[in-house]
Structure 1
Amino acid sequence: MDEPTTRAAKRAATAQRILEAAQVEFGEHGLEATTVRAIAGRAGVDPSLVIQHYGSKSDLFAIAARLDGDSTGGDVSGHLFDVLGVRLSGLPPETRALVRSMLTAPEATRAMKDFLDERVRNLARTSDDADAELRAALTVSSILGLTIARHFLELDALADISESQIDTVLRPWLTAALGEDGGDG
């Protein structure tokens, strides 16, 4: 890739390097244990540039841990199976940072709660079932629990899930949680 040549391009490239370094640091150490110096060291910049670009460690965390909203595209089960597949494979750095910090940093707690509440509302809107919101909350919570158990606690039983097990165990479990019978509704 070509080196940025304009001042604005260099500034943007530096900001991006800092952001990516912050996501890794927050993901590995959480908000509280991550330092501006560690972020700067990983990004290969002076610590003052971290503050210059992002204001404070908390402001940088808010950006680094921002999760994009998911879109179901109308296929709720398919979308949730895709989400489950992502959560079983590697976690994006912003997800790792937010999950690692959500129980110790109020900023992360709020961000995760807002994100998950939105996921629950979106999922609940796809069903006319009287218990749609509860089912949605249980489904979202289960996927979060699976994410934590696999990537942070490294539960032995979740370490080597095969494609076959995803199809024969996890898909039916998720379908049952949604109150579906394998149909579209």
Structure 2
Amino acid sequence: METPPTRADRRTATAAKILDAAQEEFAEQGMEGGTIRGIARRAGVDPSLVLQHYGSKQKLFALAVQPAPELERQDVPAHLAEVLDVRLRELPAHTRALLRSMLTSPEAAAVMRDYLQERVDVLARAGGGDEDARTRAAVLVSSILGMTIARHFLGLADLERLDADVIARVVEPWFDSLS
């Protein structure tokens, strides 16, 4: 016989369900258009539970678009090609939300700036530490951001058709020249 979930287990599951719903809501509506009621509806909970768990829409947004943990230095070069491949396919909900909101919401812009700066820092450390490492890292990070926007928000057809083989043949050598 299976043990019924504890109150803490139910609370954790509800919080996770709300966070997943927030990622979807912000991905579709952006920071400004997303609402606590919309998030609650998606999660199947009362709006008061959203606020009880996360405090405010701004705090929930910051959590919903939080970046993945830092990479190990030796993983960075392979990670660039993987990131681009993923970014040109389907965006995770939290990334779509952040990109949709970064130009209209100061909170979203700050989250994106911090995320990009963290990626620049990681790449610069892996780039040998010479005086141009930070510039090369910023160019790489900005280029991936630009390609992501052009693919998903502007519908640039040539980026929609890229596959892993083309990325390996055309883009990876460019990454190598900058890293």
- TM-score with structure 2 setting the length: 0.91
1:99, distance to aligned residue in structure 2 (A): 1.4
Could you tell me whether the CA contact under 8 Å between 1:88 and 1:150 is conserved in 2? Answer: yes
Partner of 1:55: 55
Partner of 1:161: 162
Aligned residue pairs total 177
- CA root-mean-square deviation: 1.8
- For 1:3 and 1:63, the matched residues in 2 are separated by 31
Deviations for 1:100-147, whole angstroms, at most 9, x for unmatched residues? 111111111111111111111111112243211111100000011111
1:38, distance to aligned residue in structure 2 (A): 0.7
Is 1:95 paired with 2:79? Answer: no
Q: Which has the higher contact order (CA 8 A, sep 6+)?
A: 2
- For 1:112 and 1:92, the matched residues in 2 are separated by 15
- For 2:70 and 2:158, the matched residues in 1 are separated by 28
Q: Within 5 Å, give how 1:63-74 maps onto structure 2.
A: 63-74=63-74
Q: Which amino acid aligns with 2:175?
A: L
Partner of 1:109: 109
Q: Which amino acid aligns with 1:52?
A: Q
Partner of 2:140: 139
Q: Secondary structure at the match of 2:74?
A: coil
Residues 175 and 13 from structure 1, CA distance in 2 versus in 1: closer, same or farther, beyond 3 angstroms?
A: same
- For 2:106 and 2:3, the matched residues in 1 are separated by 38
- For 1:106 and 1:172, the matched residues in 2 are separated by 35
Partner of 1:27: 27
- For 1:172 and 1:72, the matched residues in 2 are separated by 21
- TM-score with structure 1 setting the length: 0.88
Residues 16 and 75 from structure 1, CA distance in 2 versus in 1: closer, same or farther, beyond 3 angstroms?
A: closer
Gaps of 5+ in 1: 179-185
Could you tell me whether the CA contact under 8 Å between 2:81 and 2:168 is conserved in 1? Answer: no
Q: Secondary structure at the match of 1:125?
A: helix
Could you tell me whether the CA contact under 8 Å between 1:84 and 1:143 is conserved in 2? Answer: yes
1:73, distance to aligned residue in structure 2 (A): 4.2
1:81, distance to aligned residue in structure 2 (A): 1.5
Q: Identity over the aligned pairs, expressed in percent? A: 55
Gaps of 5+ in 2: none
More displaced stretch, 151-160 vs 68-77: 68-77
Q: Which amino acid aligns with 2:125?
A: R
